[in-house]
A = this chain, B = another copy of it.
């Protein structure tokens, strides 16, 4: 999992382990709180720096949610899209990717070179739908 010139530290491995267990993208702070209890605590700046490193290596993917916080997840084999609950931020993975239809036109007609795309659908998940406020 961890090759290519970078070092293999406790902190880095712990972070990757947390990302592996996460069912949904997590914030730096969520990672921080999760290790805080354990003897192996990690400082926030270390988490951010590792995220940057892992981003460069393509191991993690970063998305800024509508609350303004960056969330990180392990990069998926096939790129995915998520449906995100506005209340609890839980997410569902979308199987379909409708972008392919659009890409061709965009590249041919507008000369736009597509590098990445994000689909974010917001709403209330089944759990939160019933909760008031």
Contact = CB atoms under 8 A, between A and B. Distances in A.
Contact of A129 (B106, B113, B116): B113
Number of copies: 2
A86 B102 contact: no
A118 interface: yes
A117 interface: yes
B99 A121 contact: yes
A68 B66 CA distance: 10
Interface residues of A, number: 35
Contacts of A122: 114-118
A5 interface: no
15 contacts: A64-B65, A68-B70, A83-B112, A85-B112, A86-B115, A92-B106, A94-B102, A99-B119, A111-B126, A112-B125, A113-B124, A115-B123, A117-B122, A118-B119, A118-B121
